[in-house]
A and B are shown apart, each in its own frame.
Chain A
Amino acid sequence: MPILIDELRAFVTENFLFGRTDDFLTDDASFLENGIIDSTGLLELIGFVERTYAIRLGDEELVPDNLDSLQKLANFVSRKLAGGASGSASAYGSLAASDAEPIGVRA
Chain B
Amino acid sequence: MSTPVAAPPDILRIDPALETDRIVDHIRRTVFTELKRKGAVVGVSGGIDSSVVAYLCARALGKNRVLALFTPETDSSPDSLRLGRMVALALDIRSVVEDISPILKGARSYERRDDSVREVVPEYRAGYKCKIVLPNLVDADRYSLFSVVVQSPDGEIHKVRMSATASLGVVAATNCKQRVRKLMEYYYADLLQYAVAGTPNRLEYDLGFFVKNGDGSADLKPIAHLYKSQVFQLAAWLGVPAEIQERLPTTDTYSLEQSQEEFYFSLPLEKMDLCLYGRNNGVSPSDLAPVAGLSPEQIERVYGIIDSRRKAARYLHAAPVLVEEV
Inter-chain CA distance A46–B162, complex, in Å, is 11
Asked if B164 and A99 make an inter-chain contact with CB atoms under 8 angstroms apart, the answer reads: no
CB < 8 Å neighbour of B141 from A38, A39, A63: A63
Inter-chain CA distance A97–B120, complex, in Å, is 8
Q: How many A-B contacts at CB < 8 Å in the complex?
A: 77
Asked if A44 and B164 make an inter-chain contact with CB atoms under 8 angstroms apart, the answer reads: yes
Contacts of B160 in A (CB 8 A): 95, 97, 99-101
**Does A23 make an interface contact (CB < 8 A)?**
no
Q: Which chain B residue lies CB-closest to A57?
A: B161
Contacts of B119 in A (CB 8 A): 94
Contacts of B150 in A (CB 8 A): 100
Contacts known (A94-B120, A95-B120); A39 close to B143, Cβ less than 8 A: yes
Number of chain A residues whose Cβ lies closer than 8 Å to a Cβ of chain B: 29
In the complex, per-residue mask of A39-83: 1 if CB is within 8 Å of any chain B CB, else 0: 111111011000000000001001111010000000000000000
**Does A91 make an interface contact (CB < 8 A)?**
no
**Does A2 make an interface contact (CB < 8 A)?**
no
CB < 8 Å neighbour of B156 from A39, A65, A102: A102
Asked if A43 and B164 make an inter-chain contact with CB atoms under 8 angstroms apart, the answer reads: yes
**Does B159 make an interface contact (CB < 8 A)?**
yes
CB < 8 Å neighbour of A47 from B121, B151, B164: B164
**Does A103 make an interface contact (CB < 8 A)?**
yes
Inter-chain CA distance A43–B144, complex, in Å, is 10
Q: What are some 19 contacts across the A-B interface (CB < 8 A)?
A: A35-B311, A38-B312, A39-B145, A40-B168, A43-B164, A47-B164, A59-B161, A62-B142, A63-B143, A64-B141, A94-B122, A95-B121, A97-B121, A101-B158, A102-B157, A103-B149, A103-B158, A103-B159, A106-B151
Given A105-B155, A106-B157, 17 more A-B residue pairs with CB atoms under 8 Å apart are A39-B145, A39-B146, A43-B163, A44-B164, A63-B141, A64-B143, A95-B160, A96-B120, A97-B121, A97-B160, A101-B158, A101-B160, A102-B157, A102-B158, A103-B159, A104-B157, A106-B155
Closest 3 CB pairs of A and B: A106-B155, A43-B164, A100-B158
